[in-house]
Structure 1
Amino acid sequence: MIGYADLAREPEALADGGWWVVVAEFDGPLHAWRFADVHRTGAADAVVRDAKPWHGPAPEQWRSTMSRTEYVAAVEAVRAAVLEGEVYQANICRVLAAPLAGPQPQAVLPDGGGWRPDAAALAVRLATGNPAPYAALIDVPAGPEWPGSWVVSASPELSVRVRDGYVTSGPIKGTAVTAEGLGAKDRAENVMITDLVRNDLARVCVPGTVEVIDLLATEEHPGLVHLVSRVRGELAPGRGGRVDWAALLGATHPPGSVSGAPKSSALRLIGELEPTARGPYCGQIGWLDADAGEARLAVGIRTFWWADQALRFGTGAGITWGSDAAAEWEETELKARRLVGLASTSR
């Protein structure tokens, strides 16, 4: 690693080019680490080959930042805000956490933040049991001048892809066990958030080029299905014809699908109703090549991270006037069940 920047404070760091790993927290810094040595092929095979067995927490050790009663109350608070015309939709989330006692077989050498579990071991467990199109493994130990990050994600959702002068986003809204379980509320919510993403991209694209290229497609993932749309636009060139990364990140962070509409009002509600910060959950996770003008950032859902000597996992649901509070709680349970089960150790 040859550099670090919080892109929320120092977007000009990208002007020097380079290949960067990005972990943009939902409600905090936009961490980016610049690497000089980048292996574009074969690296995933090496991770699988060298990974140790994963030893997770017992299933009963997981604790939620919101109980069922508290989550239901938060859903009703959002519905009341919709009735008052404050928002159309807001995503309400909770964070699960479980301790991992160290040292364990998967623990690696200590760093400034204490021992760390082996991220590769968990990544292999998820890749085997829950393959995902935007999976990620990021393990950057803290250094003297930069923070570290430990993230293992099985994200199914594209936040931003930049390639050949175009930007594409793939918002997910609508979750059920089967396609037959997707209803009118899911379709209305997806259309609402797709329109929000279209407006976000319009801020940084050539006028008239932003279009919805796929609407309400059904995607199957392990244990559930999603409604997914695709929005695409031609990026307006920045200085010197390069991508204006600061403008792009400013327009697309945090992602609309995990905040709400209007975004500013939804973020205010989230701040009032959720008891803890989301961290990398619901942020953006991936890479950015400032030389080539390319990037692929996933929405940080279905994501584990390591903080304060605990393994964490976030889960949430989009709330509209048509929401049933009990059903929304069950959706958060559905989204967590398979992955938390994979990360836990049966005893």
Structure 2
Amino acid sequence: MSEEPPAPVMFPPDTPMAYFNGLLATDLAETVDLAKDPDALDRGGWWAVVATFEGGLNAYRFRDVRPSPRPVPSGPWLGPAPGSWRSSLDEDGYRSRVLAIKERIAAGDVYQVNLCRMLSAPLPAQAQALALAAVLATENPAPYEGMLHTGTDWVVTASPELYLSRAGRLVTSSPMKGTAAPGEEFAPKDYPENIMITDLVRNDLGRVAAAGTVRVVALLDRQEHPGLAHLVSTVVAELRPGVGWRDLLASTFPAGSISGAPKHTALRIISELEPVPRGPYCGAVGYVDADAGTGVLAVGIRTFFTSTTPHGARLNFGTGAGITYPSDPSAEWAETQLKAARLIALSSAVGDAGVGPTPSRWAGT
């Protein structure tokens, strides 16, 4: 007779844990700042990893890792009030920055820049990471969904985008550029933009790959996700002998799809134009199994994370769009709305129904 699958487990709300790819990790053993100890991911152990867009890299080694159903929250999701979300840029501020980027492109400084804004709302004391993860898994399933609770802060992601996966020396990255509503065509600018970022990823991987092993195995695939569609390409490479996570992250982070091209110039422009840090949004989130030589890190989009301020805990979420010379400022603003509306509505739910009202004012405030 076949064995019964393990029953879901319920944990206290502030238990340190991670859940990625059907693996439940508990019993947090250590936290490592990878800027100070960049080789930790190659020494052994199972690590949950969160990287901020600004370059903060933290890894959390768990002792107990096992296949498991999704852990059960001790109560329903109780999220922010729908009208409490505030944006770091209003529509006028976002559109003016799109025009500023277009001027930089016309001057020959850069080809493409990803311009983002951060949404934030007060976090109710009863809010649980596991409860939000359960809502997103049900209402907005994503290929790289997962969560990490460090005991104090937490990250819950419904990311559709692969930053890096690794199986031994084989590395895969799937940049996502181009967004459309369900059933709609992509804008003409989406196709060259995706190709440009795919070439950037190819060059990034080429710095650490064995000669002749970098290949684009899929180009401009349309992928359907809840509420929208994306253009996705996939690049694979074989790492040179002796290359570990230290060099791989150094050569590819942050992902090209959420920075721009050339990357170093795009990052400088982002720092000039965006009024607040992105944090884990547009960073990376996932896990590394150093014993098995495997790992999966998603781009930190469609990702919620907590922060503590003098005024209390907050829930944060980012949204953005890639700006090229043909970009229309109003259309780019609308793309940020499209990307955020469904998930902000879900995260604003109150009670156990899992779906809250669609917000009408949050994005422009």
Q: Which runs of 4+ in 1 moved over 6 A?
A: none
Aligned counterpart, 2:149 = 139
Paired with 2:168 and 2:293, the residues of 1 have a C-alpha distance of: 8
- Deviations 1:223-251 (CA, angstroms, capped at 9, x unpaired): 1100000000111121xxxx511000101
1:269 aligns with 2:274: no
Moved more, 25-34 or 261-270: 25-34
SS in 2 for 1:37: strand
Aligned counterpart, 1:158 = 162
Aligned counterpart, 2:241 = 237
Aligned counterpart, 1:130 = 140
Unaligned ranges ≥5, structure 2? 1-27, 350-355, 358-365
1:71 aligns with 2:94: yes
Paired with 1:216 and 1:90, the residues of 2 have a C-alpha distance of: 19
User: What amino acid is the match of 1:120?
Assistant: L
Query: How many corresponding residue pairs?
Result: 320
| Residue 15 of structure 1: how far off its partner (Å) | 4.2
Kept in 1, the 8 Å contact 2:181–2:229? The answer is yes
Kept in 2, the 8 Å contact 1:51–1:124? The answer is no
Paired with 2:107 and 2:281, the residues of 1 have a C-alpha distance of: 29
- In proportion to residue count, which structure has more helix? 1
1:86 aligns with 2:109: yes
Unaligned ranges ≥5, structure 1? 105-116, 143-148
Paired with 1:51 and 1:226, the residues of 2 have a C-alpha distance of: 35
| Residue 43 of structure 1: how far off its partner (Å) | 4.1
Aligned counterpart, 2:199 = 195
Cα pair distance change 1:304/1:289, threshold 3 Å: same
Q: TM-score, normalised by structure 2?
A: 0.85
| Residue 200 of structure 1: how far off its partner (Å) | 0.5
Paired with 1:23 and 1:210, the residues of 2 have a C-alpha distance of: 26
Kept in 2, the 8 Å contact 1:282–1:300? The answer is yes
Aligned counterpart, 1:30 = 57
SS in 2 for 1:9: coil
RMSD: 1.3
Paired with 1:28 and 1:206, the residues of 2 have a C-alpha distance of: 26
Kept in 2, the 8 Å contact 1:179–1:218? The answer is no
Aligned counterpart, 1:207 = 211
Cα pair distance change 1:51/1:175, threshold 3 Å: farther
Kept in 1, the 8 Å contact 2:47–2:60? The answer is yes
Query: Alignment identity in percent?
Result: 54
Q: Of residues 309, 315, 319 in structure 1, which corresponds to 2:323?
A: 319
Moved more, 157-166 or 167-176: 157-166
Paired with 1:85 and 1:62, the residues of 2 have a C-alpha distance of: 37
Q: Of residues 32, 40, 54 in structure 2, which corresponds to 1:5?
A: 32
Q: TM-score, normalised by structure 1?
A: 0.90
Cα pair distance change 1:179/1:227, threshold 3 Å: farther
Kept in 1, the 8 Å contact 2:79–2:124? The answer is no
Moved more, 6-15 or 126-135: 6-15
